[in-house]
Structures are given as C-alpha cells and as structure tokens.
A = this chain, B = another copy of it.
C-alpha cells in the first residue's frame, strides 16, 4: 500500500538496530558526572550533539525561572577520601556517585567518626553506592557502599572535594525539527543524573536516536527535543519559551526506558489528551498488561509541564516506574541493567504513539447515506484471496460508518477494537477511492 509521497502507512515496528545504537549512545554518556549545572551537562550535550543538531543554551545564575532562580554553577574537579596510608578509598573519578552533588569544597583530616557524618550509605543494600544531592543547602558529602564503610579502620582520613559553587550558567540542549505545521510535539528527558544508565542515560539516548530518525522524515508536527536538568531546567525553559509552550499539542517525558519492567504510562493532567489515548492504544496493543495511571503530581518534569498554569498535554513514559526497582538511584543502575532489546521495545512504542499522533485526523464520508457500493470500485476484489479479507471489509465499514467529522481515526480504531494502523490503511484506501475526505482543521 506504498504511496510514495506520503509518510508510511504502517508504524515501523521493532527496529533491532535502534536498540543497539541507543545502548551505545547511553554508554557514551554514562560515566559523566552530570548535575543540574556544570561541565558534566556540557560534555553530555556535546556528545549528543555529535548525533543531532543541538542548540546548547546557557542561562546565567540568578536568572528567574518561574518561581525559582537559576542557581550558582557547580564545578567539580576532584573528590576523594584518603586513608592514613595515602590510599584513595573512594574517588569520584571511579564513580561520580561517590560525591554528593553540589558539595561545597573541603580539605580536612578527621577521624572515622567525624567522617561518617558526611558519608551516605544504603544499609539495606550494603554493596551499592547511593545517589545524593544537596542543591539548595550548602554542605559536602560522600556516598559509598555500606559494607566498605563498615570495614574502615578508625582513621584518620583526609576528605578532599575540590569544587566551586559560584555564579555561572545553567546549560540545556534543544533540538527543534520543523514539520508541516508550527504545532509542536515536546519530547523531554532530564540531563542531571550522574553515572546512572536507566535513570537517565536511557531516555537521553532514546530521544537522541529518535531525533536523528525524525530529521530525515516528513512530519506533520514540528518536534522539540529538550535535554534539560530536572525541575530547574524545565522551569527555566518554560519561563523563557512561553510562545513555544503555546504551540505544544502533544508531549512525552521519558525516563527509565531500558529495563525489563513495565511498560508504564502516566496520563497528562488533562487525562484525555490525544497523547493519552495514543499511548493507551499503543501500549495495550503491544503489551499484555501495561500499567496506565492517572496523573499524580510526583515524578519527573511532567510535574512542571502539567502544573495548572501550563496544563500541557504531556504524559510520562517509563518501563519500571521511578522508585519502584531496587537499582533505582544507586550504583546498580549500570549499563548492564539496560539492554538493547528493551531499549528497542521502548523506542518502538514511542515511535508508534508518535505515528498515531502524526496520522490521526478526522474524515468525512462523502457517501454517508447508506453504504457506498464497494464492489463496484474493486474494493472487495482488491482484497480477494486475502486471509484477512473479512477484517479488512469490516475495517472499511467502520471507517465509513464513523467518518462523520466527529470521530478521529484513533476514535474509530478504539471503537472497532482494531489497530490504528489497520484503520489508517483503510482510511487511505477509501480516501484514494474518493469515498472519504479529510476534514480540514
């Protein structure tokens, strides 16, 4: 059913290569010491920018960001603990989780007891390093495995953090891909978590891959990919882009898309936005028991996009839900925890939802009085011998019956309990035969 100048009539389905490439992009940025500001973010954006055209935006400390203010920039050069023998027992170069994000500078020798007041561990997961931040309260800290801490002799220890917290800039990246209309689809992943693969390299890598793919494709909507630090980055972008915000018609926040859980979708605050219906349709079609929940005001940057003053049609897509898996926010969230297979699956689900959004529209039956005679137009013949003929005939009857200017193709697919792609292919066929025509917006 290939109609050359039009976009594909069927969603691309699983692309095994996609999983491998997304995994490789994630691996590239995995070890970097990202935070809400600083060179870790800049280096991450530089590497993503090798794949896609990326506008890197720098916003000065002190700039307003809705009710917030862009904080000072954190520069981290070194962070380690030395024992009496001068051996570094932890070093942030080995794992960026070892230093609490936004730690202030320190260089002090102290006994174990004093050191412990600055060390965070997970007693119930004694081999894992936790992830800790202190963005808005100036202090310093280290994170390490509880078992390692327990085994430490009394000391003394030298704690060194060579860091600045001074006026600088917050950095985020945007990739804008123009489509046929200025109406936008927003796709967003946070870029502030250091050294964790599922949360958040997986989302950054998947969106980077997707942006590259979409660059070469004809698109109805314009697409904006946003890679910004969680909360403060989204707020900064929202505050500076009210006009772009007004053009957003659909959106997704992505995080933790590489593990074997889920899929999970949290609806937008509106609850019945087209993206909510599209994700619902695609997830139910492709997986046995997706978890699909109403909006709750906790999670990722959908919190900001769905605040009442914006109330954007933006949902959250994940595999395992945040805070629901043991590797979450620990050093166990490694590149081994995410797999090319699951990344490919996640990619295919998002891609298919976007396919629905791109292709959903209203049609009007041009012969609404009775059924038009399909046989005369070869529309039964066209399908003859096809083992799926009955389903295709039924799809034609559904599209003809509900193309009344009030039911979109997705509405029809849901009502007919058929895949959107089947309904779309049917609508294209009927349109070609001048039986239905799109309703102009």
Please, how many angstroms separate the alpha-carbon atoms of A137 and B380 in the complex?
12
- Determine whether the beta carbon of B398 is less than 8 Å from that of A136: no
A297 surroundings in chain B (CB, below 8 A):
371, 394, 397-398, 400-401
Please, how many angstroms separate the alpha-carbon atoms of A269 and B369 in the complex?
14
A238 surroundings in chain B (CB, below 8 A):
369-370
- Determine whether the beta carbon of B68 is less than 8 Å from that of A369: no
Interface SS of A by simple majority: loop
A385 is an interface residue with CB less than 8 A from chain B = no
- Determine whether the beta carbon of B303 is less than 8 Å from that of A371: yes
- Determine whether the beta carbon of A403 is less than 8 Å from that of B371: no
Please, how many angstroms separate the alpha-carbon atoms of A375 and B135 in the complex?
10
- Interface set, chain A 261-298, CB cutoff 8 A to B: 269, 296-298
Copies of this polypeptide in the complex: 3
- Determine whether the beta carbon of B367 is less than 8 Å from that of A66: yes
**How close is A242's CB to chain B, nearest CB, in angstroms?**
9
A325 is an interface residue with CB less than 8 A from chain B = no
**How close is A156's CB to chain B, nearest CB, in angstroms?**
30
* Complex: chain B residue closest to A68, CB-CB: B373
Mask of A45-74 contacts with B, CB within 8 angstroms, 1/0:
000000000000000000001111000000
A402 surroundings in chain B (CB, below 8 A):
308
- Determine whether the beta carbon of A370 is less than 8 Å from that of B269: no
A365 surroundings in chain B (CB, below 8 A):
307-309
Please, how many angstroms separate the alpha-carbon atoms of A371 and B269 in the complex?
14
When A136-B375, A376-B136, A394-B298 are in contact, do A401 and B306 touch as well, CB less than 8 Å? yes
Contact of A373 among B67, B234, B239, B376 (CB under 8 A): B67
Contact of A310 among B235, B308, B369, B403 (CB under 8 A): B369
The 10 closest A-B pairs by CB, nearest first: A309-B368, A309-B369, A66-B370, A297-B397, A297-B401, A67-B372, A308-B404, A308-B368, A235-B370, A67-B367
Contacts beyond the supplied A307-B370, A308-B365: 9 A-B pairs with Cβ under 8 Å: A67-B370, A67-B371, A239-B370, A307-B368, A307-B369, A308-B368, A308-B401, A310-B369, A310-B370
Chain A interface (Cβ within 8 Å of chain B)? 65-68, 136-137, 231, 234-235, 238-239, 269, 296-298, 303-304, 306-310, 365, 367-373, 375-376, 394, 397-398, 400-404
